[in-house]
Amino acid sequence: MTEEHNADGEVTWHPNPKTPEFTPPAGAVDAHCHVFGPAHEFPFAPERKYTPGDAGKDMLFALRDHLGLSRNVIVQASCHGKDNAAMVDALESSNGMARGVAVVAHDIADEELDRLHAAGVRGVRFNFVKRLVDATPREVFMRTAERVQRLGWHIVVYFEAPDLEDLTPFLKTLPGIVVVDHMGRPDVSLPVDGPDFQRFVTLMAEMPNMWTKVSCPERLTVAGPPYDDVVPFQRYLVETFSDRVLWGTDWPHPNMKSHRPDDGLLVDTIARIAPTADLQQALLIDNPMRLYWAD
């Protein structure tokens, strides 16, 4: 890969990811990744909080093949706002091997939702991370959640651990399947069995419709690669909720400040967080296929 740079001249993703030592099972899904631009074709949103380098569909699909994966779930990122054109273009170019999670306006027409569904979108994302997006009233999110149920879509929620207690009553009222990005971004310097992470575990136990992505160790780590401080949190969720977990690379790792994650190394962590063939099958194939390709 050729290095791409953001507006500050920083390299925004690893230009030469290693070949993983772990071989994913045939049909494995990267259930959380993005496409950015290219900006000359798919401009970034004026209201964005950061400007990434170009990382388009061809790069994503080349990375997928390099890592030994088979399918992608492409999640709309905040830098593209509510214009899902780049993501939809990637879905329509994937020969059915990609699905999408959209970000939509509160007043989007039913016809546009139908068009997104036909392209391969199967979920809508609600972002509560204040440094990334402006706040949206929860009643607006709820109306959107209710509207997409006719399509069988699920709701993806992105928040940080300090916000979980306040968000819990709202999350419990959401209809359908609710997927939490990146384990709710726990503080991995605290114990796995401590009250902070266990608050999230308890919510997962209380909400059988809640799933989570055991992704983004590169964002959560304090120790750095190979993410020894994050693996216990990921493994705990994989072993406790084996039928409701997903895994993804988060490529191209937008807005990273600490280091450039190597996606080959991220694939190698799979064997540490899902140590048996049955857990790997559920995490990488059965769960994402049930959620995104059931139809």
Residue 172: the pLDDT is 98
Strands 29-33 and 71-75: parallel
Assess whether pLDDT exceeds 60 at residue 4.
no
Q: Where are the domains of the chain?
A: 29-292
Confidence of residue 15 (pLDDT cuts 50, 70, 90): confident
pLDDT of the residue at 53? 86
The string of pLDDT tens digits covering residues 95-149 is: 999 999 999 999 999 999 999 999 999 999 999 987 666 778 899 999 999 999 9
| Confidence (pLDDT) at 78 | 87
> Among positive and negative, which fits the CA dihedral 108, 114, 117, 123?
positive
Q: What is the pLDDT of residues 246-282, one digit of tens each?
A: 999 999 998 887 888 999 999 999 999 999 999 999 9
CB atoms within 10 A of CB 150: 11
Nearest to 72 by CA among 42, 34, 122: 34
Mean pLDDT of the residues in the chain: 93
Among the listed residues 163, 274, 158, the one whose alpha carbon sits nearest the alpha carbon of residue 216: 158
Q: What is the fold of 29-292? A: TIM Barrel (3.20.20)
- Tokens (6 digits) for 248: 């993804």
Mean pLDDT of 202-219: 97
Judge whether 263 counts as a catalytic residue.
no
The one catalytic residue among 30, 54, 181, 250: 250
Is the confidence at residue 7, as pLDDT, over 60?
Answer: no
The number of residues making up the chain comes to: 295
Residue 285 has pLDDT above 70, yes or no: yes
**pLDDT at residue 9 is higher than 70:** no
- The pTM (predicted TM-score) of the whole model is 0.94
36: nearest Cα among 13, 12, 55, 63 = 55
Whether the pLDDT of residue 199 is over 50: the answer is: yes
**For residues 75 and 69, is the Cβ–Cβ distance under 8 A?**
no
Residue 50 confidence (pLDDT): 84
- As a whole-number percent, the residues of the chain with pLDDT over 90 amount to 84
pLDDT of residue 12: 61
Give pLDDT tens digits for 45-60. 998 888 888 999 999 9
pLDDT level of residue 3 (50, 70, 90 thresholds): very low
pLDDT, position 131: 67
For the residues 82-93, what does the mean pLDDT come to?
97
Residue 5 confidence (pLDDT) above 90: no
What pLDDT does 1 receive?
47
> What would the two tokens of residue 276 be?
């048996």
Q: What is the pLDDT of residue 202?
A: 98
